[in-house]
Structure 1
């Protein structure tokens, strides 16, 4: 039996508010980032390894974190991507039979500093009221003034380009090389389960770095193009936006998820904005305006596209809306083979209501390829 650390720790928000807790394990440490919260009841390992969370301090609203350990097959990237973890009860022991190791060992292996015993209900209420902001977690509880000075130097998430920090450095392949169709994927923070979902639909994927040009993506002669999820502000991604413009102009199928959705909107002249809190969880309600059906979705984003500009754009149609706040959750181009969604249809973990979007992309690729042959 392992026991909780008694080492004191604090969470200091950019506005000077302090929440108290304890360090996970016996580690000393300090970590900076934008504080945000996720309401998912399960899936902490997938959340911690999602590249879209790069540079963020994650608050988990579920009261117990770590109780089912970790499994090597359930990571979404090459390692932990969050800047730090803030939770209520950290479980040092786990009970799942197919777990490989404890969450404590997993986080230690990835050099992640975490704090527990924080009043997360009060913290989440505070963030909801005051918005996501930069923060620091630290065991250096006697030097708050020094932490405040360092925190003031941390750049805001607004205007921050982070895709280059998580993207692949070199192109790589995923799936069966004998698959019927090829997809060129622009990696601005791609998740492994997206690649799994594409590959199991008879496609072979070549994944390119965040700044790859259309010429580089098209040289592989793909049947379709994909722009991934990812972290940070979409507006500084000029290379990805220009690549999206070129893909759109080519007339080939294009699908975008989350940050990729925002890049496609920017390529169409629609601006984006930083949300007060963002959407992060696995139970967000979305309405498909094309079918009239509701979907329970997995979401993780702090930016959104401008709804008024989208409605005024003659080339775009809003296909999905978030039912909590009526923000745009999906779009398609009226005269092009292009569509995108703000949420995560790969849903790992989470609901599978939106998995049809991968089928829709595959059908679009198949239809376009057949038309070219005929």
Structure 2
């Protein structure tokens, strides 16, 4: 029976990934610090549901605490490590950049040091579509330069990619970085747009729509994202590239892979799907673009498909309706 270490296991993505791995027969060690960035009760409930499985071992603590990850690696010797824990949020990074320095840079350093001492068969680390920054060539493809971050959050995630590459090269650690594209679904983060829109609309309050709605996102349903991650666990970077589109490094067992729906959706269509699911119109306050934001994202997922056979399956209307069903059940709304 294989063991996976999932950092950020009480988070939105970490919870869903850990649940999928447990269902597939993995032993899962879940590390989370239960940060108060958003509702800690929600994080505790996610962990409690995972703990119903005898294969789950919860660990509460910070990545950046010296020695914590080293001890976990030494004790559990994970076969796969999926590093999801991070300080998230583009806007928050403008107000509290030190949170990102500590969790996203120091925390990632501690993880890489532990992996160097106790190498897993595969280390997978979460990045973000935000690293594409000011790029305008669509769809975003992994071999594009990503040198123009628009937020400190994006800068720390791009730095994490560079750190990972150096460790892959120096210590022959097989590392895959995956870039997420606007993930949504049940148990989602309360600071994300879908959550905030739903809460406001059910309270008959207006929603704030930035850039006057002239935005699009490659909205990715959580189940599709987790399918992409679990498929990549077996796609360990080696010496030979998979086709001409592979981002495999020429000097390290390291690659970058997009995980998205590969289907950009206009923000107004996303809101329309929510209006349909809730059965009521939204009162919209149109505003200017927020600092650190970008007008559009769109993932080229051809590399992920070549590596795993991945195809996104859940369209926006279906995914938004599933989120609304969960929201109503969770909050009794």
Q: Which structure has the highest strand share of the two? A: 1
TM-score over 0.5 (shorter chain):
no
Give TM-score, length-normalised by structure 2: 0.27
Q: Mark the structure with the bigger radius of gyration.
A: 1
Give TM-score, length-normalised by structure 1: 0.25
